[in-house]
Amino acid sequence: MNTALSWIKAYVPDLEVSAQEYTDAMTLSGSKVEGYQCLDNNLEKIVVGQITKIERHPDADKLIVCQVDIGARSVQIVTGAPNVKEGDKVPVVLDGGKVAGGHDGGPLPEDGIRIKKGKLRGIESDGMMCSIEELGSSRDMYPEAPELGIYILPQDTPTGADAVEVLGLHDVVFEYEITSNRVDCYSVVGLAREAAATFRKEFHPPVVTETGNEENIRDYLSVEVEDTQLCPRYCARMVKNIKLAPSPEWMQRRLAASGIRPINNLVDITNYVMEEYGQPMHAYDYDLIGGHKIVVKCAKDGDEFQTLDGQIRKLDSTVLMINDGEKEVGIAGIMGGENSKITDDVKTMVFEAACFDGTNIRLSSKKVGLRTDASGKFEKGLDPNNAKEAINRACQLVEELGAGEVVGGILDIYPRKRQPVRVKFDADKINCLLGTEIDAAEMKQYFQMLELGFDEEAQEVIVPTFRQDLNCLADLAEEVARFFGYDNIPTTLPSGEATTGKLSYKLRIEEVACEVAEFSGFSQSMTYSFESPKVFDRLMLPEDDKLRQAVTILNPLGEDFSIMRTSPLNGLLTSLSTNYNRRNKNAKLYELANIYLPKSLPLTELPDERMQFTLGMYGEGDFYTMKGVVEELFDKLGMTKKVHYDPSCGRPYLHPGRRADIVYEKQAVGYLGELHPEVADTYKIGERTYVAVLDMPAVIPFADFDRKYTGIAKYPAVTRDISMVAPKEILVGQIEDILTQRGGKMLESYQLFDIYEGSQILSGYKSVAYSITFRAKDHTLTDDEVNAIMKKILNGLQGMGIELRA
Amino acid sequence: MKEKLEQIKAEALRQIEASDALEKLNDIRVAYLGKKGQLTSVLKSMKDVAPEDRPKVGQMVNDARALIEARLEETKAALAKRAREEQLKREVIDVTLPAKKANLGHSHPNMVALREVERIFVGMGYEVVEGPEVEYQDYNFTKLNIPPNHPARDEQDTFFINPEVCLRSQTSPVQARTMEQGKLPIRMIAPGRVFRSDEVDATHSPSFHQVEGLVIDKHITFADLKGTLAEFAREMFGEETKVKFRPHHFPFTEPSAEVDVSCFKCGGKGCRFCKGSGWIEILGCGMVHPHVLEMCGINPEEYTGFAFGVGLERIALLKYEIDDMRLLYENDIRFLKQF
């Protein structure tokens, strides 16, 4: 909402503040000023001049030489403007003065344009006559200004006067950010009320007087409202003998400052009242209203309607319409129809000021795909008690402006008058909530400034209907806080029972995961939770893969963001791809984020959100680097059991020979592997790419931050090296399983120190060598004991077709 | 005998003096003091000495031995010292050659900011909790005093899944979930992802992060809210930071406020960063609306509380002077490495 300070001052006449003071104070009392524009910015030494003589420039066809009377003296000005004639009064910027912009109306330079005395083609020019663009405005705001050329002032303008003043440019336009609860502040009257209270000045709202001739509107028109829920109030008044003309300058200036282009007196009046009272108005051509009857009722399913912007709108039975005796003439609260719009030939018109149900307007506006200034206001839920005042104000302006003859009487359908709300006042409770010690009398004074009533006997605040946001004591507390000043409320810290600050267990584990990843060289990435359904194909998931069952967004930003991810890979692979594309040699990334697995589709409950710890890399490192990170994490999480890797996991996005599920205590907790070369190609990553994914909800139950010290060994260890020849398809994991199972309590550790395939080894076999360490807690192991264990191990290995190597 | 001893001694000392390596000293030790060494053989030949002279000769032999040993030790120490010096000289390296780094990874700037926020509030006794990202509209809106068809439901540009479920547009539903659990008092923060249908550009992202805060207890006041957030701002942005509370509107708090902090780049003088105002808006907050307390099963006559919500990206962008939000989701390692 943009409003000129001069308009506010019209209702708060004692208000004398600088633009910055106004901005700060209004913002701190709750009417946030987003910014302001001083209309006289960079306008210096600009006066009203009268051209007394025009001569041709001796050396330039397109230039003329003007003698301009500026009151005290006369100056000579050379100009190329085509539109001036002797006797014209014009704005003149004097030598050393400033204008805001160039004559072309482009963006205004920050510091304006300094005007200096000089010579144009040898003839002295002492100043410049100004166009409206040079004065920092535009023809939109000053429609009377010529398209090209100097702005011509009215003949009765005093010569030598301040031209900026004459043009009403000594004004400031404030831009407000009004919160959605303060419907009343989407109006100049509402803002002026706030300004008066903020600066402790008197508030003088417009005085609306009785208007209308001896006739009665009932003799011309009837109004019928079928659904008074959707239309709690409908007011209509009429104007006949319309004389369309431009509206007066003061009205044009105020509208222009609010960003509304002046059109003619009638349009301007409706816009003016909408700004002033926040009440949208509509005008119908009376002669186009069939049956001279207005009926407010819902459309029928399948109806179509042409709005006055020429568009055809599809309707249904929930869209409230304004009908005449024969047809639909407007979509209630949104836009009138092409069929009844006011044209320049209008003779008699009907003003409408109604109150429609905000929710219905909001939904209708979405349905018909049209949001207007009016619908934007109705959506917020207007005060029906405002409608009559507004329509009478409009009629008053019609009379004042001589725009037509107002017909007496009003049609006002308002079956259930909205009554003020009463809120119990309790100063102690308000102070308790705010942490203040404000006097009850002071609070009541704030209420009074805001035009809230007070019932001393019942100790109740009587909230006028324009303040729909005040319903409970907390609301009153905010009013008190606003005018006491948020700044003046003390600062304390909560007292009371102490609480323990901590992270949830899940978050603690995630923190460890981040640490391990970062210590292992992986940097944290963040990617979107929604992605394209094409991801499933990119990851080569079969048609019937469960991961294709995804939660779909009804109103996505586009197909690429339309499903909630069921795999964390696409995000990370996309980021790796970005890095590869940007020629980063190595990239190691990780992400901790959810996937969303629906328990059923369509959803009957919230999906399972599973935190995934995802690692991805290309460049340095290989499969075993990835595996290392996984095991480091398990170590840190106290998961000391042996981790198993199951290569038969069948995950299609991974290299079939280089992939495994990560199995802990017989439960799959994640997977890792090299990205399938096809998938790497799809993501345009030209290097071997490795990924690992841990399903954190599966990992967390195994995590254990408890540590128990076990004594450092007192007795010596015995180490035996064995070298064996194993069939190629035997995994060292299987060998290690034998070592663990058969090594018993005495087995302390084992280490793979050689693995070899090639000459010297029969094809189809590989040589594997382990160093195995045994130790007893309570004595020095004898050779016999170790031999016995080794024998068990060797038997086990032989059972798998493994032979000891000589 | 004496001459012989003197001769041996002189010869030994000469050899010691002439030796330039530890091994040579060892050879000398063996040659003179060893079992078959010259001095030892003098001792062995004591039987040829007259018994009355033996103590004297013995003394002489021992003196010679002591002298040679002492000289050996001295020389050995000197040689060792020289050898060490030479070793040190030999081992000079170019300390300006590149370091061998472990190449640690880096936290995402959002996370760096979040850790900071968590540290501050955990220190003040807040528990860090979470809530679902795909959320019932009931929690995202209704229980936050935004009934069905309330215009505020449109304001947040929510992504919908079905008539009951949406992607949460704020972390505030965690407030309702926490209150419903009925464990009082409450001091919690809830960080997490939120979603709004904003097209991606330099200042918008359809997915971003918020941190919600909630305190419910007896006698919690707006003054407590001010004090808590002022403390937070000082910890987060520096001891000198000032805060400004401006009235605002949120359906689930009353009174509500927006909070500005004095610009941490210019200290409030006005700069490009704060667009000349000296202030930067960082969060929204307020006293929990009594209706919200009621809906979540808490008696508003007995308990009051405050809530606040901070945009994590906003803090990260401001604090680290990141000029384009898209950088946060591209994950270019050259970007991430800077945090």
- For the stretch A752-781, pLDDT in tens is 999 998 888 888 899 999 999 999 989 999
> Least CB-CB distance to B248: which of A179, A494, A556?
A179
Cβ(A662)–Cβ(A654) below 8 Å: no
Q: CA nearest B111 in A: which residue?
A: A524
Tell whether B242 is within 8 A of chain A (Cβ).
no
Residues of B in contact with A518 (CB under 8 A): 104-107
Q: Residue ranges per domain, chain A? A: 2-39+172-198, 44-166, 217-413, 422-488, 505-702, 718-804
ipTM over 0.90 threshold: no
Helix (H, G, I), strand (E, B) or coil at A462: strand
CB-CB under 8 Å, B133 with A596? yes
Q: C-alpha distances in angstroms, B264 versus A572, A673, B117, B235, B267?
A: 34, 46, 16, 12, 5
Half-sphere exposure of A192 (CA within 13 A, CB side): 25
DSSP A642-702: PEEEEGGG--TTEEEEEEEEEEETTEEEEEEEEEPHHHHHHTT--S-EEEEEEEHHHHGGG
Q: How far apart are CA A694 and CA A613, in angstroms?
A: 5
**B29 CB contacts (<8 Å, ≥6 apart)?**
B37, B72
Low-confidence ranges of chain B (pLDDT < 50): none
CB-CB under 8 Å, A435 with B136? no
Tell whether B116 is within 8 A of chain A (Cβ).
no
Tell me the average pLDDT across A237-243.
Answer: 96
CA angle (B84 as vertex; B80, B88 as ends), nearest 5: 170
Q: Domain A44-166 belongs to what architecture?
A: Beta Barrel (2.40)
Q: How far apart are CA B212 and CA B169, in angstroms?
A: 12
CATH says B109-336 is which class? alpha beta
**What is the length of chain B?**
339
Cβ(A92)–Cβ(A77) below 8 Å: yes
Residue B116, both tokens: 């900071």
Tell whether B129 is within 8 A of chain A (Cβ).
yes
Sign of the torsion angle spanned by Cα atoms A138, A142, A148, A152: negative
Q: Which fold has domain A505-702?
A: BirA Bifunctional Protein; domain 2 (3.30.930)
- The residue ranges of DSSP E strands in A270-326, in sequence order, are 282-285, 293-298, 304-306, 312-314, 320-323
- CATH superfamily for A718-804 is Ferrodoxin-fold anticodon-binding domain (3.30.70.380)
Tally Cβ neighbours within 10 Å of residue B301. 10
* Confidence class for position A531, pLDDT limits 50, 70, 90: very high
Cβ(A436)–Cβ(A484) below 8 Å: yes
Residue A230, both tokens: 């959707």
Q: How far apart are CA A78 and CA A119, in angstroms?
A: 8
Cβ(A624)–Cβ(A632) below 8 Å: no
* CA trace torsion A663, A667, A672, A678 (10° rounding): 130
CB-CB under 8 Å, A499 with B127? yes
Tally Cβ neighbours within 10 Å of residue B299. 10
CA angle (A434 as vertex; A433, A438 as ends), nearest 5: 115
CA angle (A455 as vertex; A453, A458 as ends), nearest 5: 145
- pLDDT recorded at residue B44: 80
- For the stretch A483-503, pLDDT in tens is 999 999 999 999 888 888 999
Question: A587-597 and A523-524: which strand pairing?
Answer: parallel
- For the stretch A339-372, pLDDT in tens is 888 888 999 999 999 999 999 999 999 999 999 9
Residues of B in contact with A578 (CB under 8 A): 330-332
Q: How far apart are CA A600 and CA A367, in angstroms?
A: 31
Tell whether B155 is within 8 A of chain A (Cβ).
yes
- For the stretch A626-681, pLDDT in tens is 999 999 999 999 999 989 999 988 899 999 999 999 999 999 999 999 999 999 99
Q: Residue ranges per domain, chain B? A: 2-90, 109-336
- For the stretch A79-99, pLDDT in tens is 988 899 999 999 999 999 999
CB-CB under 8 Å, A504 with B222? no
Q: Domain A422-488 belongs to what architecture?
A: 2-Layer Sandwich (3.30)
Q: How far apart are CA A501 and CA B224, in angstroms?
A: 18
Tell me whether the CATH fold assigned to A422-488 matches the one assigned to A718-804. Answer: no
* Chain B (184-213) residues lying within 8 Å, Cβ to Cβ, of chain A: 185, 187, 193, 195, 197, 199-200, 206-207
CATH says A217-413 is which class? alpha beta
Q: C-alpha distances in angstroms, A774 versus A607, A734, A744?
A: 50, 20, 9
Which conformational region is residue A788 in: left (phi greater than 0), alpha (psi within -120 to 50 degrees), or beta?
Answer: alpha
CB-CB under 8 Å, A528 with B291? no
Q: How far apart are CA A249 and CA A140, in angstroms?
A: 13
Q: C-alpha distances in angstroms, B66 versus B14, B33, B72, B80?
A: 15, 10, 10, 21
Q: Does A63 score more than 60 pLDDT? A: yes
Q: Does A806 score more than 60 pLDDT? A: no
Residues of A in contact with B193 (CB under 8 A): 529, 593-594
Helix (H, G, I), strand (E, B) or coil at A238: strand
Q: How far apart are CA A93 and CA A78, in angstroms?
A: 13
- For the stretch A729-757, pLDDT in tens is 899 999 999 999 999 899 999 999 999 98
- For the stretch A393-446, pLDDT in tens is 999 999 999 999 999 999 999 999 999 999 999 999 999 999 999 999 999 999
Question: A453-455 and A328-331: which strand pairing?
Answer: unpaired
> Least CB-CB distance to B134: which of A482, A521, A607?
A607
Q: Which fold has domain A2-39+172-198?
A: Phenylalanyl-tRNA Synthetase; Chain B, domain 1 (3.30.56)
Instruction: Please state the separation of Cα A729 from the chain's center in Å.
Output: 59
Q: CA nearest B336 in A: which residue?
A: A523
